[in-house]
């Protein structure tokens, strides 16, 4: 057991990294909606391929920010705006951090309310 260095494995940074990798590893599952397919193509694939064009990603986040699904999604613009800011700063860690808060807040709701809504 002690050869597994459990203390190290449970360090918060390692846990966060594991969770992030798990989220991105699921990126080839078929998304539930057209928005999910767009995210896979514009966000997950470039990140996983290590091929991020920050200027393009900033535009994509700005487009996303401008398309809040309804007035019910009050934090949408700010959440997407955080990704746009990170991409504008060529901050890959910040870009990756911007995904989860919006998914936690809105993914379930969006899939339930807009299963076939075209995006963009």
Cα 30 to Cα 113: distance, rounded to the nearest angstrom: 18
**Which of 31, 54, 85, 92 lies at the binding interface for ligand HEC (CB under 6 A)?**
31
DSSP alpha helix (H) spans, the chain: 6-9, 12-25, 34-39, 45-49, 54-65, 76-88, 92-97, 99-102, 108-113
Chain position carrying tokens 């193509």: 41
Binding-site size, ligand HEC (CB under 6 A): 27
Q: Is 29 in the site for ligand HEC (CB under 6 A)?
A: yes
Q: Is 20 in the site for ligand HEC (CB under 6 A)?
A: no
Binding site for ligand HEC (CB under 6 A): 26-27, 29, 31-33, 35-36, 39-40, 43-44, 47, 64, 76, 79-80, 83, 95, 98-99, 102-103, 106-107, 110-111
């Amino acid at each position: 057991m002690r050869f597994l260095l459990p203390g190290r494995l449970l360090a918060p940074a390692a846990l966060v990294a594991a969770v992030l990798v798990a989220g991105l590893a699921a990126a080839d599952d078929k998304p539930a909606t057209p928005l999910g397919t767009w995210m896979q193509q514009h966000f997950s694939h470039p990140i996983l391929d290590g091929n991020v064009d920050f200027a393009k990603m900033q535009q994509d986040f700005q487009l996303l920010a401008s398309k809040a699904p309804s007035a019910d999604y009050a934090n949408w613009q700010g959440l997407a705006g955080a990704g746009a800011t990170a991409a504008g700063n060529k901050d890959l860690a910040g870009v990756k951090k911007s995904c989860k808060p919006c998914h936690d807040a809105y993914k379930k709701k969006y899939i339930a309310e807009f299963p076939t809504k075209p995006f963009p």
